[in-house]
Chains A and B, each alone.
Chain A
């Protein structure tokens, strides 16, 4: 674990652990409900990547900073403080979901939590996030937009149009690349001419840093620095989070493009939750009783969320025609 964050208090360590565990258990539950046929369509799980959003959330200003991401969005929403029950209900296409079942897994928003989606077109959130940053600057509200995208999305042209504009106008945006090593079935080495994706801003004068995205403390440290940089008016900055997704691209992907050994090796050696738990025990920050207490609490929150979602009524058929522009 990153050591320079030894100032992180015992309380914060507990929160980070709880947050990451909450995301993991949420995703495991979503996977189960998908298997039972209760969730249909796409369902992209975030398991393995929890340290990225958890660390960035911790580093950010919750009142001011906005967030935007792709379809792999459940973890981001939970980290943003959205209600796991409401997210789960949306996955099940129910009326208590954040979009009343009309959005689905890939398309949820909570403007109250400054979460701007949930986008299904690879890379599209990058210019949109750049626009959120434009608004932060225009309104002088002190906020920074955290714009997440994947290693695969890094090969979309619109990412680079955004870089140029953000650098030109010195917009307060932190671009966070979640490099989980695959875009669907294609590894970074098969898709990208250069693999240091975080350095692709260099021709626009945008600094980039490689971060161990499996180490929540390292993410916090890099996140704080980057957010300060952007908040102080220096313009955009890129963080290249080295992370890994344990499950297939979506629930229907058997992930035959990589070996089981590859996955189990990362799980055994780099798992962000195990790593933090070990760190906490080694430093005697929390007792094993306290850790167990968190495990139980998380379990309860997730089973309540799943129950809430399953009991939520199906959307009224009139919903087909609400929020329609014609």
Chain B
């Protein structure tokens, strides 16, 4: 076991895959010599050299387009889009090209690439550098969508994403980069599309993703000690494929579901989870499904405004308390 930060796990995961498979190449802005703006890719340039770890110009359309072209021939590119907000700059390549290839070509062309990006708020970066946009990807048929909450999952899911034959959108939550966690020695790989029950509960089930997972867990602790409410927490880890079976199993036990997402309100992923569960388990539910989300606003820069916008431990705690009582 080694203890690594979430950011170190990124480089560790990429290195594991680059060592294993010479077809893996890595490209993005300032990812090489500079080691990434979040210092998540330090060491890769020295270890694998400039042919495999490429610093690119600030040209997102060309980065993803080139990654796609290379992937169509069997290379396995990992492309970084520095902030997930910038996916909007190259969304054509993601939504119209990458996502649709396998289907439009009758399976002749698959695109085995990974798009890594720093997602989410909390750093006072303002409206164009703080969004949680995993829901944008979830809406496009043809993409897998992953968002880890722990260093171990960063490494294991990144490895699984690289080995997957299809395009994977890989959302790293930037507020989690400094978080530490244990990573097993030797090869580390997880399965895509499996949620994880991180805390068992009998009164209510909280479904969360990425930075909302540790907040949900902390709220669950408080609910136990302060209100004797037993709240379970599921870390979804992946939006596509979505592990509905694990959600159903837990909700069948508790009959109550609360989703916690960093997405703004309208069309956040929680709406989809809520819709699926209400169709499948309506008669099992003891209360309406409740979503805790960021309000439907662009994110402000000032700290106290940003802090009340993104779901906090307190907000999760209060929401569960009010609805379960």
* A188 nearest CB neighbor, chain B only: B57
For the complex, is A153 an interface residue (Cβ under 8 Å from B)? yes
Chain A residues 75-127 with CB under 8 Å of chain B are 93-94, 99, 101-107, 119-124
| Beta-carbon contact of A120 and B126 below 8 Å | yes
As a 0/1 sequence over residues 56 to 72 of chain B, the CB contacts with chain A under 8 angstroms (1 = contact) are 11110110000000000
**With A103-B126, A120-B126: A317-B62 Cβ-Cβ less than 8 Å:** no
| Beta-carbon contact of A314 and B58 below 8 Å | no
Point out the residue from B85, B88, B125, B308 that lies within 8 Å of A320, measured CB to CB. Answer: B308
Point out the residue from A102, A155, A326 that lies within 8 Å of B296, measured CB to CB. Answer: A326
| Beta-carbon contact of B302 and A101 below 8 Å | yes
Stretch at the interface among B7-15, B27-35, B135-143: B27-35
As a 0/1 sequence over residues 168 to 201 of chain A, the CB contacts with chain B under 8 angstroms (1 = contact) are 0000000000000001111000111000000000
Query: What is the CA–CA distance of A124 and B309 in the complex, to the nearest angstrom?
Result: 26
Chain B interface extent, by class: 20 to 34
Shortest C-beta distance, A33 to chain B (Å), equals: 14
Chain A interface extent, by class: 35 or more
Instruction: Report A-chain residues with C-beta under 8 Å of the C-beta of B37.
Output: 184
| Beta-carbon contact of B55 and A315 below 8 Å | no
Query: What is the CA–CA distance of A153 and B29 in the complex, to the nearest angstrom?
Result: 12
For the complex, is A138 an interface residue (Cβ under 8 Å from B)? no
Shortest C-beta distance, A189 to chain B (Å), equals: 11
**With A102-B300, A121-B89: A317-B128 Cβ-Cβ less than 8 Å:** no
Point out the residue from B56, B124, B295 that lies within 8 Å of A321, measured CB to CB. Answer: B295
Query: What is the CA–CA distance of A256 and B35 in the complex, to the nearest angstrom?
Result: 11
Chain B residues 79-134 with CB under 8 Å of chain A are 85-86, 88-89, 123-129
| Beta-carbon contact of B304 and A314 below 8 Å | yes
Chain B residues 150-182 with CB under 8 Å of chain A are none
Query: What is the CA–CA distance of A184 and B38 in the complex, to the nearest angstrom?
Result: 12
| Beta-carbon contact of B297 and A320 below 8 Å | yes
Chain A residues 30-86 with CB under 8 Å of chain B are 40-42
| Beta-carbon contact of A123 and B58 below 8 Å | yes
As a 0/1 sequence over residues 303 to 326 of chain A, the CB contacts with chain B under 8 angstroms (1 = contact) are 000000000001101011100101
| Beta-carbon contact of B126 and A317 below 8 Å | no
Query: What is the CA–CA distance of A141 and B61 in the complex, to the nearest angstrom?
Result: 36
For the complex, is B303 an interface residue (Cβ under 8 Å from A)? yes
For the complex, is B301 an interface residue (Cβ under 8 Å from A)? yes
**With A106-B128, A186-B30, A321-B295: A157-B301 Cβ-Cβ less than 8 Å:** no
| Beta-carbon contact of B30 and A185 below 8 Å | yes
Point out the residue from B56, B61, B125, B305 that lies within 8 Å of A319, measured CB to CB. Answer: B305
| Beta-carbon contact of A192 and B129 below 8 Å | no
With a 10 A CB-CB cut-off, give which of B33, B126, B128, B303 has the most chain A CB atoms.
B126
| Beta-carbon contact of B126 and A41 below 8 Å | yes
As a 0/1 sequence over residues 136 to 164 of chain A, the CB contacts with chain B under 8 angstroms (1 = contact) are 00000000000000001101110000000
| Beta-carbon contact of B305 and A41 below 8 Å | no
Shortest C-beta distance, B315 to chain A (Å), equals: 13
Instruction: Report B-chain residues with C-beta under 8 Å of the C-beta of A320.
Output: 295, 297, 300, 305, 308-309
Point out the residue from B29, B57, B59, B126 that lies within 8 Å of A104, measured CB to CB. Answer: B126
* A106 nearest CB neighbor, chain B only: B126
Query: What is the CA–CA distance of A321 and B309 in the complex, to the nearest angstrom?
Result: 10
For the complex, is A257 an interface residue (Cβ under 8 Å from B)? yes
Query: What is the CA–CA distance of A299 and B305 in the complex, to the nearest angstrom?
Result: 32
* B85 nearest CB neighbor, chain A only: A121
Instruction: Report A-chain residues with C-beta under 8 Å of the C-beta of B301.
Output: 41, 93, 99, 101-105, 107
* A317 nearest CB neighbor, chain B only: B308
Instruction: Report B-chain residues with C-beta under 8 Å of the C-beta of A119.
Output: 128
Chain B residues 1-51 with CB under 8 Å of chain A are 29-30, 33-34, 37
Instruction: Report A-chain residues with C-beta under 8 Å of the C-beta of B124.
Output: 40-42, 93, 104
**With A121-B89, A324-B297: A315-B125 Cβ-Cβ less than 8 Å:** no
| Beta-carbon contact of B302 and A104 below 8 Å | yes
| Beta-carbon contact of A121 and B300 below 8 Å | no
| Beta-carbon contact of B57 and A120 below 8 Å | no
* A41 nearest CB neighbor, chain B only: B124
Query: What is the CA–CA distance of A119 and B34 in the complex, to the nearest angstrom?
Result: 24
Query: What is the CA–CA distance of A37 and B25 in the complex, to the nearest angstrom?
Result: 39
Instruction: Report B-chain residues with C-beta under 8 Å of the C-beta of A183.
Output: 57-58
| Beta-carbon contact of A190 and B302 below 8 Å | no
**With A42-B125, A152-B58: A184-B302 Cβ-Cβ less than 8 Å:** no
Instruction: Report B-chain residues with C-beta under 8 Å of the C-beta of A257.
Output: 33-34
| Beta-carbon contact of A107 and B297 below 8 Å | no
Shortest C-beta distance, A26 to chain B (Å), equals: 19
Instruction: Report A-chain residues with C-beta under 8 Å of the C-beta of B295.
Output: 320-321
Instruction: Report A-chain residues with C-beta under 8 Å of the C-beta of B62.
Output: 157
**With A41-B125, A104-B124, A120-B129: A186-B55 Cβ-Cβ less than 8 Å:** yes
Query: What is the CA–CA distance of A122 and B128 in the complex, to the nearest angstrom?
Result: 11
* A101 nearest CB neighbor, chain B only: B302
* A107 nearest CB neighbor, chain B only: B126
Residues of A at the B interface (CB closer than 8 Å) are 40-42, 93-94, 99, 101-107, 119-124, 152-153, 155-157, 183-186, 190-192, 256-257, 314-315, 317, 319-321, 324, 326
5 nearest A-B pairs in the assembled complex, by CB-CB distance: A104-B301, A93-B302, A41-B124, A101-B302, A120-B128
A-B contact list, 11 entries, CB within 8 Å = A101-B301, A101-B302, A121-B89, A123-B58, A152-B57, A184-B37, A190-B55, A191-B58, A257-B34, A315-B300, A320-B309
For the A-B complex with A94-B302, A191-B56, A257-B33 known, give 15 more contacts whose Cβ atoms are closer than 8 Å.
A40-B303, A42-B124, A93-B302, A101-B305, A103-B127, A104-B126, A104-B301, A122-B58, A152-B58, A155-B59, A183-B57, A191-B58, A315-B304, A321-B295, A324-B297
